[in-house]
Structure 1
């Protein structure tokens, strides 16, 4: 699953003029890729933990551990926020809880690579709808072809319940992006994320206790759950935050489109989840569609900026 962070629209900080360009370009890209590897291998580790606690128990441990780390590190201010601020962060947290819960239910039933590919359709649909350009029909068609192939021409090779959970997680991911941006405008730095993670953990705790009970407090289970939280939330968020200081948001979005391939690799190496040729082609189609949609959106923004500059010059 992707790290819980939305694609920012702000431009990254300008690197010093004396800094070597090649090194400056490769550094942040490496950080983003490392974050993606961390997320997907964390997801693979979560699958191995599910026999101990169940999917809901894994989500509970991940959210709790991530919330504790973020609250300690960020130390968000609790006073001085308007009611609308708190409403936004609560909806953001509830969306985060739903996104994680649905995704982990999906990877309990279908391969990790397939689940992430289906989940990516949520942000992809959001990008296509936001752009409103005819070329996005091509990207949407590629994505649909990928989904069709992923199911073996009708989802006969995948558990339909797992597919439904993954698509639901994708819808929540798109909603997450919207409310992440709103939260970022209302709270400084990562305060909103820390508070939303705490809300998500509190909302999910009863579900984890009902499914897992005292098994959640087993020392080995706690250690593995904390490792999942670090790999899937804390570490990738930190790496991406560092990378985005020097990396354009468009490049970041394209790199995030590679996550289905990274997830498939993690599933193969850790969980022995092999993919058929058709399923591998399906993942490649969805990745291509995602990259294309991002580039189209960036091109549209540049065209608008050029138009604005031209209008100013004319006046």
Structure 2
């Protein structure tokens, strides 16, 4: 098993495949999560996702067997806090605007990481494409009532967290096995679970909701973060960001298939422009 993981971590094709599977799992899980918002609220669903995923990761990898240095502990604490906050912010955005639109705005985070790590002429074209896409998504022109400005603001804040997630995820990715993810999810749960309990209370103990919460935790956190961490050992931050560029399209498709969310042709074109911009920044 360890040899298979090592092979995946060292093979860029396998690392890319793992990252693609991560994105698929993450977005389908997010669609199921949005369907649970009316029952336990955004905070409750986030607590399920982070808290149950932390328990799964701790049981699987038992990270306490390898003590952390002070520097590793600091990076893991920041990494975990960013995970928790990113999840909460993007779920708040999902509650107000379509998933595909929210993730298209959020992907500005990895796009920024990619652009800052490269200085090629095509990056200017990518920035222009992304700016055009965001212009047609943001409620700053024409019919401003089409999108909730607060939802857009949450998605933009999640974009900042996604950029920090890539930076600090890369720093902790050298740690053995799933240790970094397990410690990170524990740090995230210590931050998020109390917020979820404060908002949803005993509703979180409802068996039916717990079952759906467990599925969300596996699909949206435990599985994708583990796959991403394996990929980060091989892929650069710029390449990781390129693969992340598919997220808006996948999220829009998941929202359409699971939740019946339909976007306008203009919104689809805007998402396409942002996806293309993200991909351009990392083409060799």
**Matches for 1:3-152 after TM superposition, within 5 Å:** 13=10, 31-77=18-64, 80-151=67-138
Query: Could you report, residue by residue, the CA deviation over 1:224-275 in whole angstroms, capped at 9, with x for unpaired residues?
Result: 1111011112233455567789989877654431111111111111111100
User: Which of 196, 204, 221 is 2:192 aligned to?
Assistant: 204
CA 1:147–1:102 in 2, change beyond 3 Å: closer, same or farther? Answer: same
Trace 1:290-305 onto structure 2 (pairs within 5 A).
290-295=278-283, 299=284
Where do 5+ consecutive residues of structure 1 fail to align? 1-10, 16-24, 300-315
1:282 matches 2:270: yes
In structure 2, relative to structure 1, the CA distance for the partners of 1:200 and 1:28 (3 Å cut) is closer
Structure 1 residue 135 displacement after superposition: 2.8
2:212 corresponds, among 189, 203, 224, to 224
Between the two proteins, the alignment pairs up a number of residues equal to 276
- Find the aligned partners of 1:224 and 1:163 in 2 and give their Cα distance: 27
Q: Distance between the aligned counterparts of 1:105 and 1:241, measured in 2?
A: 25
Alpha-carbon offset, residue 32 of structure 1: 4.0
Q: Deviations over 1:182-201 (max 9, x none)?
A: 2224x323212111110100
Rounded Cα–Cα distance in structure 2 between residues aligned with 1:94 and 1:237: 14
Q: How many angstroms apart in 2 are the aligned matches of 1:223 and 1:262?
A: 24
Deviation at 1:138, TM superposition (A): 1.3
Cα distance in structure 1, aligned partners of 2:192 and 2:275: 31
Q: 2:244 aligns with which of 256, 271, 278?
A: 256
Question: Do 1:12 and 1:249's aligned partners in 2 also have CA atoms closer than 8 Å?
Answer: no
2:113–2:163 Cα contact (<8 Å) kept: yes
Tell me, in whole angstroms, the C-alpha distance in 2 between the residues paired with 1:72 and 1:203: 20
Match of 2:221 in 1: 233
CA RMSD of aligned residues (A): 2.7
Aligned residue for 2:154? 165
Larger radius of gyration: 1
Confirm or deny: 8 A CA contact 1:151 1:157 kept in the other structure: no
Q: Contact (CA 8 Å) 1:149, 1:279: kept in 2 or not?
A: yes
TM-score by length of 1: 0.80
Q: Secondary structure at the match of 1:294?
A: coil
The 1:184–1:116 alpha-carbon spacing in structure 2 relative to 1, beyond 3 Å, is same
Give the TM-score of the pair, scaled to structure 2: 0.88
Structure 2 residue ranges without an equivalent (≥5): 1-7
Instruction: Label 1:34 to 1:13 Cα distance change in 2 as closer, same or farther (>3 A).
Output: closer
| 8 A contact 1:152–1:278 mirrored in 2 | no
